[in-house]
Amino acid sequence: MYVPNRGIRPQLEVIARAPLPTHQGTFDMRVFRWGQPSSPDLSPDHVALTLGDPHDAEDLLVRVHSECITGEVFNSLKCDCRQQLEAAQAAIAEEGRGVLIYLRQEGRGIGLANKVRAYELQARGHDTVDANRLLGLPDDARDYSAAAAMLTELGVRSIRLMTNNPKKESALRDLGIEVIGREAVVVSTNPWSANYLETKRLRMGHQLPALLAAAIGDAE
């Protein structure tokens, strides 16, 4: 059962819903509005793509994904966000049921403008963690309260979480979501994303699977 972080639970409402045909099949798309975002640079509107009926579902395959305009829209090679999103959607389609939560938390929660400012520092040789710190920003400002509330609203009982980030799993558990397993997301790498992924492994605690770790080694 969802337990809010503090105070009164912000209002959660479905403000739009429609079927969404995709290359992986037709998903049910819901747009949720959740309270007020932590920054004016972020949107209060989040998306849930569901395949099959999530109500009372146990052992449900779930991806909680944060927005990345640079990677998902402009095909940036600096990160693996688009590949992870597509891999998760394909995995849910292959299983025949699941939920993909898309949170509007650009740049690990710092917003698009700050993210691009951090990119400029990365172009000078700083890694993603140090770039954020030089800007006076946290390493990771994401909040998963909206995701927990959305999964609860959908009636999901327990999940298998697709992520390489143990902190995301812990955050959802702390918010009352029953996570019964974590599945690694294996994607390809390139010379631009290899250092970024290595920084996530070494400095942010991401548990990259062996195949991806080997790919990073090949790209270095």
Q: Is 33 annotated in the active site?
A: no
Whole-angstrom Cα distance, residue 166 to residue 84? 16
Whole-angstrom Cα distance, residue 208 to residue 201? 7
Structure token digits, residue 165: 């980030």
Q: Is 140 annotated in the active site?
A: yes
User: Which helix H or strand E contains 166, and what residues bound it?
Assistant: helix 166-174
Number of alpha carbons in the 13 Å side-chain half-sphere of residue 161: 25
Nearest to 118 by CA among 102, 141, 136, 143: 136
Out of 117, 140, 157, 173, the active site residue is 140
Out of 30, 63, 142, 143, the active site residue is 142
Q: Is residue 107 classed as helix, strand or coil in its secondary structure?
A: helix
**174, 168 in Cβ contact below 8 A?**
no
**103, 64 in Cβ contact below 8 A?**
yes
Helix axes 194-203, 210-219, angle to 10 degrees: 130
Residues recognised as catalytic: 140, 142
